[in-house]
Structure 1
């Protein structure tokens, strides 16, 4: 049974590092949550390390700038691990071929195709039409409000050609303010259901956690799993991911699952219990919002 806590500080002394989700935990896609920022600043002031672990398809430099734009100061975290960086590395190693069909919002996701100079002999990636492609790179839908089914015809063609789909963001949906939007994970799920092969690099899959641990190492930190706490609002991404990595987790119930857990300031205990049983997850701790 998950333990409902009232503040991160109740349990933070047990952990040397936090793997913290962004959307729904630290910001709402528009602006930062002041209480969450303050909690992370307090944790770092006591010597803890904060790694922002996000399914954003962007490189970490772009996410860092986005955090400033949203009002998240640099003293709220130590480093960032993004699904985008994991996926970009795989793409430039040829995971879906040289000629790729890109899915996403061209202007917002432009940084995904910036050169990756940490690799020897990176693949010469060329963006082409679907009929010329060897594989698909998916940072998200062309229209985040459109039902993923609008891609069914293209996916059928891609599947018959044996194309792999590289998913740069396994999230199914996010809430941008009060508006719920589809993410790349919804498209990858559809492609898989249709018999295609999707490759994932964000939570809950191992590559992004490997990257997060490398980010810790780059800071000169060697922290065992039992001393890391994963924090997030996605049961099938953040919490399942933490379970797979054998790290404890703090479930933010006021994010994606606010309605199901009847969260206002805090979740309703009975609703929360039913929800985590339905989702088949077992977070050690839960809280309405990160604070």
Structure 2
């Protein structure tokens, strides 16, 4: 039975490393959470490394810049691993040279330094989906014909951001995971590389080992996140403890965002078949 935690400090001594989600925990896409970054900085100073782990479909360089612009101090984390980083590995592993980029222009940095050619839809050997072209106005319905075509052609479809939706300043917007879900419904087999899938955790645990100067026991690693299908599911697959942040993308499901109903939270965790060592509305020390 999960209970509401007063803060990370109440369980911090049990752990020597943290893998923390970013969007929904550290910031909301518009501003950073001051108490959250203070909590991570305190954990890092007193207990062990903090690795930020995100389904952002870009290499870590642009995300580091975004965090800087949002005022997230580098003192609160040791390293950053993105879904974009592991998507690059997937593109190279598949080996297709002609890639169709499905997503906004801001994600083009994903392909920098790779020996691939970005081509039009009809010439594609591989699809790499980072999101919708315009996530402020579009929905997955706008992509039905395209996704049916990709599925019919049995093209490899790399989903560079398995998130279905994200909360941007209080507005829910669709992510690449929603398009991958639709592609699968039409008979395709998407290649998921971010949370909750293994590749991004392999990379994150490698960074944790590096920052710690040696491996950290898995029962001393804590995941922090606000998404049930990615963060909590990923913790479940990796058999790692997790804190569930309730005032993120699922906030509307649990009553007042600053006073989530414990029974509703537990019911949802049970329904999703995942566990958490505790929950809190937003991360704080």
| TM-score, shorter chain, exceeding 0.5 | yes
For 2:272 and 2:239, locate their aligned partners in 1 and report how far apart those are by CA, in whole Å.
18
Residue 3 of structure 2 contacts residue 262 of structure 2 at CA under 8 Å; is this kept in 1?
no
Give the deviation of 1:56 after TM superposition.
0.6
For 2:258 and 2:172, locate their aligned partners in 1 and report how far apart those are by CA, in whole Å.
21
* Root-mean-square deviation over aligned CA pairs: 1.2
Give the deviation of 1:200 after TM superposition.
0.7
Answer yes or no: is 1:214 the counterpart of 2:206: yes
Give the deviation of 1:194 after TM superposition.
0.7
2:265 corresponding residue in structure 1: 272
Segments of structure 1 that go 5 or more residues without pairing to the other structure are: 117-123
Residue 17 of structure 2 contacts residue 47 of structure 2 at CA under 8 Å; is this kept in 1?
no
For 1:28 and 1:76, locate their aligned partners in 2 and report how far apart those are by CA, in whole Å.
17
Segment of structure 1 superposing worse, 153-162 or 261-270:
261-270
The 5 Å alignment of 1:1-291 reads 1-94=1-94, 97-106=96-105, 108-115=106-113, 124-144=115-135, 145-219=137-211, 220-291=213-284
Segment of structure 1 superposing worse, 262-271 or 206-215:
262-271
Give the deviation of 1:274 after TM superposition.
2.3
Give the deviation of 1:81 after TM superposition.
1.1
For 1:151 and 1:62, locate their aligned partners in 2 and report how far apart those are by CA, in whole Å.
27
Which deviations, in whole Å up to 9, do the C-alpha atoms of 1:35-82 show, x marking residues without a partner? Answer: 101111111111321000111111111111111111100001000111
For 1:55 and 1:149, locate their aligned partners in 2 and report how far apart those are by CA, in whole Å.
22
Residue 266 of structure 1 contacts residue 289 of structure 1 at CA under 8 Å; is this kept in 2?
no
1:109 alignment partner, SS class: helix
1:231 alignment partner, SS class: strand
Residue 25 of structure 1 contacts residue 289 of structure 1 at CA under 8 Å; is this kept in 2?
yes
* 1:24–1:233 distance in 2 versus 1, CA, 3 Å: same
1:93 alignment partner, SS class: helix
TM-score of the aligned structures, taking structure 2 as reference length: 0.96
2:251 alignment partner, SS class: coil
For 1:22 and 1:266, locate their aligned partners in 2 and report how far apart those are by CA, in whole Å.
22
Give the deviation of 1:197 after TM superposition.
1.5
1:120 corresponding residue in structure 2: none
Give the deviation of 1:174 after TM superposition.
0.2
For 2:92 and 2:10, locate their aligned partners in 1 and report how far apart those are by CA, in whole Å.
43
Q: Which runs of 4+ in 1 moved over 4 A?
A: none
Segments of structure 2 that go 5 or more residues without pairing to the other structure are: none
